[in-house]
Structure 1
Amino acid sequence: MHLIRPFTGLRPAHNRATEVAAPPYDVLSTDEARIRAEDHPWSFLHISKPEIDLPAGTNPYAPEVYAKAAENLKKMLAEGILARDTMPCYYAYRLIMGGHSQIGLVAAASVADYDTNRIRKHEFTRPDKEDDRVRQIDALNAQTGPVLLAYPDAPEVDEILALAASAAPDADVTAEDGVRHTIWVIRDSATLDKLTAAFDAMHAIYIADGHHRSAAASRISAARKAANPQHSGEESYNYFLSVIFPHHQMKIMDYNRVVIDLNGLDTKAFLKRIAEQFSVQASASQVKPAKPNEFGLYLPGQWYRLEIRADLIPQNDPVARLDVSLLQNHLISPVLGINDPRRDKRIDFVGGIRGLAELEKRVDSGEMAVAFALCATRMEDLMAVADAGEVMPPKSTWFEPKLADGLVSHVLD
């Protein structure tokens, strides 16, 4: 089996992509999705968030929700809004957000390689979220939410994708958030073979976002394999929908922290405790860390620049040397008394897309007592954690721009 393979994608018909493309299912609440899809009958939100077409208050995990998704997909096919390619293809997918651009490959990735960790993970998954994706895939008999992956240095792949993106696009959509999504279909058999061979030569590729979707695909594959006495390994359920970008093009933003209180300390005592393990320097302006091991600290009306002592950074531990780990292990836990950031209600997380002004707002309003700005995790650090078979701390990465749902889906024959 190949690490990836081309597939017969389910895509918006000609000139329909703008009507169909939608944000990922997990970035909008039901209420937000209902508003976004109003007067947009062909928005993919009717498939990815089908509870919007049922009475308000419907449990989004109820059986009728998944049935509604299947009904809506069937309708979009019957009306010719979506159509399936007649031959297996790869697809080049370019994202542009402001001055940032990245070009990746839409492909079907091997479940077997996911199961053996050649497609590498860095997060734990929650059974309830896996269950939701399993039910969605089963109801649709298709994977509609792509897994975001990264591939290591492969100049030949980069060149093929850049060449594909120099042609006229097959779909070109600018979303409401200003992000531009462009798709090119790659049909040339020699190019398909080159891409497949190039990925077969890679030692690993890496999940960036979509751990629940890939875990669900693995569960679907195992169940269908067990139920199929003619199983050959070539069935489409042995692969999952993915978009794979070169790791050096991917953009990770900072994932910042805010805390409700100072754990019984006043400001002076709090800063004194921090100074035991960090240098602390007051700043007349916002502090956006420019390098690893540097942090911004915001208390009401005042920013500080923190830098952790070099002797506290464990160079040989890919998890413990992450900035999110250093902040947690040397400040948030010992000083603020938050030992389990996954479950402790005193801490919250703010994606860097919201900017430092959001940190100031939440502290100055009195909602939070203190905020921490971090340097964004690097892709190289994520890959090192995955290569070591370890797991990233919670809320370590915030990838932007986000993929769109609906531009290419993977049908399970």
Structure 2
Amino acid sequence: MPRILPFKAVRPTRDKVSLMASRSYESYSKEELEARLRDNPFSFLHIINPGFKYRKKISGKLRYGLVKNRYQEFREDGIFMQDEESSYYVYKIVNREGFSFHGIVGAADVDELNKDGIRKHEATLKDREAMFMEYLKTVGFNAEAVLLTYPDNEIINSIIQQQMNSRAEYEFTTTYRDTHYLWPISEKALVEKIKAAFEEIPAVYIADGHHRTASSILLAETTGALSQDEMNNSYRFFMSYLIPESELKIYQFNRMVKDLNGMDKEEFLIGLDTYFRIDNRGAEYYKPSKKHHFSMYLDGDFYSLYLRKDRYKMTNALDALDTEILYRTILKPLLGIEDARTEDRLAYSHGKKDLAHVQSMVDSGKFAVGFGMLPITVEELKAVADQGLVMPPKSTFIEPKLRSGVTIYEF
């Protein structure tokens, strides 16, 4: 029974929102970042990259303090405003491929992770949790919503559809060709209806943002928010964007490895034969069509790899994931990849780039072999989370990808 509450969002004025909204900082190339900071004084990138003002790269706690300063300057200059009433926010995204996502932005109670109302499927790194917790505590706001998904719900869907019949508070298209819409909901009756509808759902699932969630838990613990009587303590919550499971778009991450771990091609193929039926497809572009089928590109040829199910035991939801199968049958025993999070011989390419990208990277000589598979399904993601297990790194590339600076949650 997840507790999702309305909040008083800080957000850009209507005339500035298209200039303010930014992608994740890491997604920009150096040239793109320079151009946006130079040409757009209203970009949220100025807040999270405060060193641009001084033409100097700044990191650590000094950066955190300057981020807070830039944010306050935007507030003082009237670029941001804050809603007077606690609200939910219907948020719609139509991406450039034509996929539509409809959901609600709200504040999720971190204690629901302890109560199993919010479930995770990824492990997090303690140093990143601590670093981002310090960042949140210093700057005093959260500008990137965690993506949560919930079972399709008629009540929530009807409210979303009802709101979308009216004029949106925001409607803007980015240079990335995604169109964004926002409708605030502050009417008491609707607010209570949304809150009650989420409380009737057994659990929601983290789709994207595990480190942000873990940092929010750490922040709540550090500030004592979970032990205080006041249930509306702002440190107890994190900003979330909740969309129905039917709209979640999941792509796979393909794998590429720089060498064959000392083996020649024939030795490697013989090693694969233990767990897989192997067919050389030659120049034929092969993409898997079933679970536990894999594509491999090696030395100018595509191969199909079909798992020999009598040789591989599946005892839980994790065992059945193709990313786990690939790791346990090929990456670790044959290619010597012990830690898929840190191994610099291993690289990932998300499925939107498809196997043609993997082929080009292998043909370039940067990698010796590449592997492709089908995306993980929502049902598989939920099964892993329900069993309290965690997926291998880079098991999912999930959309929608949210913009920073459209709604902001202040502590």
TM class, shorter-length: over 0.9
Once residues 313 and 201 of structure 1 are traced to their aligned partners in structure 2, the CA distance between those partners, rounded to angstroms, is 39
The aligned counterpart of 2:328 is 329
The aligned counterpart of 1:12 is 12
Query: Do the aligned residues in 1 keep the contact of 2:130 with 2:218 (CA within 8 Å)?
Result: no
Report sequence identity in percent: 34
Query: Do the aligned residues in 2 keep the contact of 1:282 with 1:303 (CA within 8 Å)?
Result: yes
Once residues 189 and 203 of structure 1 are traced to their aligned partners in structure 2, the CA distance between those partners, rounded to angstroms, is 24
Query: Do the aligned residues in 2 keep the contact of 1:296 with 1:305 (CA within 8 Å)?
Result: yes
The aligned counterpart of 1:27 is 27
TM-score w.r.t. the length of structure 2 is 0.93
Task: Report the AA paired with residue 370 of structure 1.
Answer: V
Task: Report the AA paired with residue 324 of structure 1.
Answer: T
Indicate whether 1:274 and 2:289 are aligned.
no
**Aligned with residue 75 of structure 2, among 74, 77, 85:** 77
Once residues 42 and 214 of structure 2 are traced to their aligned partners in structure 1, the CA distance between those partners, rounded to angstroms, is 28
The aligned counterpart of 2:47 is 47
Query: Do the aligned residues in 2 keep the contact of 1:258 with 1:371 (CA within 8 Å)?
Result: yes
Task: Report the AA paired with residue 265 of structure 2.
Answer: T
Once residues 171 and 289 of structure 2 are traced to their aligned partners in structure 1, the CA distance between those partners, rounded to angstroms, is 34
1:37 CA drift (Å): 2.4
Query: Do the aligned residues in 2 keep the contact of 1:30 with 1:51 (CA within 8 Å)?
Result: no
The aligned counterpart of 2:391 is 392
Query: Do the aligned residues in 2 keep the contact of 1:115 with 1:218 (CA within 8 Å)?
Result: no
The aligned counterpart of 1:174 is 173
- Aligned CA distance change for structure 1 residues 51 and 245 (closer, same or farther; 3 Å): farther
The aligned counterpart of 1:236 is 234
Q: 1:241-252 alignment to 2 at 5 Å? A: 241-252=239-250
Task: Report the AA paired with residue 92 of structure 2.
Answer: R
Task: Report the AA paired with residue 91 of structure 1.
Answer: Y
1:121-171, Cα deviation, whole Å (9 max, x unpaired): 122222332233223222222111111111123222222222222322111
**Structure 1, unaligned stretches of length 5 or more?**
none
Task: Report the AA paired with residue 82 of structure 1.
Answer: F
- Aligned CA distance change for structure 1 residues 10 and 376 (closer, same or farther; 3 Å): same
1:225 CA drift (Å): 2.7
Once residues 321 and 226 of structure 2 are traced to their aligned partners in structure 1, the CA distance between those partners, rounded to angstroms, is 43
- Aligned CA distance change for structure 1 residues 41 and 375 (closer, same or farther; 3 Å): same
After superposition, the CA RMSD in angstroms is 2.1
Task: Report the AA paired with residue 24 of structure 2.
Answer: P
Q: 1:285-304 alignment to 2 at 5 Å? A: 285-304=284-303
**Structure 2, unaligned stretches of length 5 or more?**
none
- Aligned CA distance change for structure 1 residues 152 and 364 (closer, same or farther; 3 Å): same
Query: Do the aligned residues in 2 keep the contact of 1:25 with 1:405 (CA within 8 Å)?
Result: no
Query: Do the aligned residues in 1 keep the contact of 2:111 with 2:226 (CA within 8 Å)?
Result: no
Task: Report the AA paired with residue 175 of structure 1.
Answer: T
- The secondary structure found in structure 2 opposite 1:357 is helix
- The secondary structure found in structure 2 opposite 1:297 is strand
- The secondary structure found in structure 1 opposite 2:190 is helix
- The secondary structure found in structure 2 opposite 1:257 is strand
1:48 CA drift (Å): 2.9
1:185-220, Cα deviation, whole Å (9 max, x unpaired): 122222211111111011111111111211222222
1:17-40, Cα deviation, whole Å (9 max, x unpaired): 101000124434677534432211
Once residues 335 and 260 of structure 2 are traced to their aligned partners in structure 1, the CA distance between those partners, rounded to angstroms, is 6
Query: Do the aligned residues in 1 keep the contact of 2:12 with 2:80 (CA within 8 Å)?
Result: yes
The aligned counterpart of 2:205 is 206
- Aligned CA distance change for structure 1 residues 371 and 169 (closer, same or farther; 3 Å): same
- Aligned CA distance change for structure 1 residues 20 and 320 (closer, same or farther; 3 Å): same
Task: Report the AA paired with residue 8 of structure 2.
Answer: T
The aligned counterpart of 1:405 is 404
Moved more, 90-99 or 335-344: 335-344
Moved more, 256-265 or 108-117: 108-117
1:293-314, Cα deviation, whole Å (9 max, x unpaired): 1111111321112221233454
Once residues 243 and 227 of structure 1 are traced to their aligned partners in structure 2, the CA distance between those partners, rounded to angstroms, is 22
- Aligned CA distance change for structure 1 residues 33 and 136 (closer, same or farther; 3 Å): farther
Query: Do the aligned residues in 2 keep the contact of 1:89 with 1:187 (CA within 8 Å)?
Result: yes
1:321-380, Cα deviation, whole Å (9 max, x unpaired): 100011111122222222322222221111122222221121111110000012111111
- The secondary structure found in structure 2 opposite 1:73 is helix
- The secondary structure found in structure 2 opposite 1:273 is helix
- The secondary structure found in structure 1 opposite 2:310 is helix
Task: Report the AA paired with residue 319 of structure 2.
Answer: A
- Aligned CA distance change for structure 1 residues 253 and 188 (closer, same or farther; 3 Å): same
Once residues 284 and 165 of structure 2 are traced to their aligned partners in structure 1, the CA distance between those partners, rounded to angstroms, is 43
1:227 CA drift (Å): 11
